[in-house]
Amino acid sequence: MIPVIKASDVRNAYPKRAPDSHKGMNGRILIVGGSIDYYGAPLLCGYGALYGGADLAYIFVPECNFEASRTYYPDFIVRKFPGEYLDMKGVTPILEFAKKCDVLLMGPGMGDRPETAEAMKNIIENSPIPMLLDSSAIQVLQKIKNFPLSQKIVITPHHNEFEHLTGKDVKVSGSMSGKVVLARTIATDLKINILLKGPESVVAAEDGTTAMNSTGNAGMTVGGSGDVLSGYIAALMGQGANPYDACRIGSYVYGKTGDQLFKQKGFNYTASDLAAELPYVIRQFAP
């Protein structure tokens, strides 16, 4: 029987902040995302990172998104790479900047151009810091031949993204045991950590440990909610949580955040609402 994540699990695993810590010690998160088609996704990731407790959120976007991104929220530190989407011209500056960060979150809003996929592959293979891959970055794993990779990897697919990655049928209403077996198999084969999002989410660690989360509600299907969650999980990793615990904590607390908003607004809330509510729910679990 797969264990269900409980509040006590989250409290016991939540990373503790040193009273004498200084700026940067509690997570420097590099978010690489955006394109001419989508500019909001990396910003929502940044919300999740900062409202999730990270000290610094660096957002690397294409130059077409730069002005909108840097004027949107003064707490973000925004950098740009050339063009309207990521290609090989952006790889070197991103890899150089990543050296000063703790976690790299990549994928939201980047689109599925072949040039972008090739650039993301190069970054995944050459950056040594822990990574969270979401959205189109998840599919780039199909292009990588040599596993395990040198760094810790988290992926946060929804069911359609996981079906695309694995070539297997993963129905939202399908067998929970089937989802668990498939997620565990992929996690152990590739030595990665997986949060398979859904009405009941599955967390699978690279060593085969699994858990299920049942918090949350149908309002969390709103666009951008997954971006906020990815930023929050990256923030937890930046604060010292191991990838498996970061996924367990993130899925549970974020679902509780959605449940709290449901009490206030029904299903009528946004991804930005989720980010803004997140700190108030975290207070119930963080030491």
Residue 217 located in a structural domain: yes
Range 89-94 average pLDDT: 97
Question: What whole-number percentage of the chain has pLDDT above 70?
Answer: 99
For position 112, which CATH number holds?
3.40.1190.20
Please tell me the total count of domains within the chain. Answer: 1
- Examine the pLDDT at 7 and tell me if it is beyond 90: yes
Residue 125 located in a structural domain: yes
Residue 11 located in a structural domain: no
The pLDDT value given to residue 124: 97
The pLDDT value given to residue 171: 76
pLDDT digits (tens, 9 = 90+) for 146-169: 999 999 999 999 999 999 999 988
The pLDDT value given to residue 253: 98
Residue 182 located in a structural domain: yes
pLDDT digits (tens, 9 = 90+) for 28-75: 999 999 999 999 999 999 999 999 999 999 999 999 999 999 999 999
The pLDDT value given to residue 173: 65
For residue 212, give its domain range: 23-282
DSSP string spanning the chain? -PPBP-HHHHHHHSPPPPTT--TTTT-EEEEE---SS--HHHHHHHHHHHHTT-SEEEEEEEHHHHHHHHTT-TT-EEEEESSSS--GGGHHHHHHHHTT-SEEEE-TT----HHHHHHHHHHHHH--S-EEE-THHHHGGGG--S-S-SS-EEE---HHHHHHHH-S---TTS-HHHHHHHHHHHHHHHT-EEEE-SSSEEEE-TTS-EEEE----GGGGSTTHHHHHHHHHHHHHHTT--HHHHHHHHHHHHHHHHHHHHHHHTT---HHHHHHHHHHHHTTT--
Is residue 170 very low, low, confident or very high in pLDDT (cuts 50, 70, 90)? confident
Residue 36 located in a structural domain: yes
β-pairing, 77-81 vs 103-106, is unpaired
Residue 18 located in a structural domain: no
Residue 127 located in a structural domain: yes
- Examine the pLDDT at 216 and tell me if it is beyond 90: yes
Question: What whole-number percentage of the chain has pLDDT above 90?
Answer: 94
